[in-house]
């Protein structure tokens, strides 16, 4: 992508982890990560909240949220909200409540 689609959007071509860490130190609102499993893998230690949309009728077998190389620990997340739409989609919100090195059950 060569141009920014909106003023509130920033395209990052440098180290995404360092950019997210700098943004988290600045005052302001939430950061919204949009990218594939590879980007999620590189940032998984910096993510504080996951909002997952499940649409089983359209996705079929599903796509991994993080690439298989990510050291993703499900024990650090708690389901904090959920919302079902009339069409069958489900939004699940998970918040990181423990450090990444928390033991997996």
43 in any annotated domain: yes
CATH assignment of the domain containing 92:
3.40.430.10
82 in any annotated domain: yes
pTM score over 0.75? no
Overall domain count for the chain: 1
* Residues spanned by the domain of 40: 16-96
29 in any annotated domain: yes
Q: Which residues lie closer than 8 Å to 52 by C-beta, 6 or more apart?
A: 65, 91, 92, 93, 94
3 in any annotated domain: no
Q: What is the pLDDT of residues 60-91, one digit of tens each?
A: 566 667 766 667 778 888 999 999 999 888 99
24 in any annotated domain: yes
- Quote the CA–CA distance of 38 and 35 in Å, as a whole number: 8
């Amino acid at each position: 992508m060569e141009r920014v689609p909106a003023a509130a959007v920033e395209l990052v071509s440098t180290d995404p982890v360092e950019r997210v860490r700098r943004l988290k130190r600045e005052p302001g609102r939430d950061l919204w990560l949009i990218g594939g499993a590879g980007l999620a893998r590189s940032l998984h230690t910096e993510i504080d909240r996951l909002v997952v949309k499940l649409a089983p009728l359209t996705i079929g077998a599903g796509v991994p949220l993080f690439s298989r190389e990510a050291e993703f620990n499900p024990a650090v997340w708690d389901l904090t909200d959920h919302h079902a739409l009339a069409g069958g989609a489900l939004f699940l919100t998970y918040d990181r409540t423990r450090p990444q090195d928390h033991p997996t059950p």
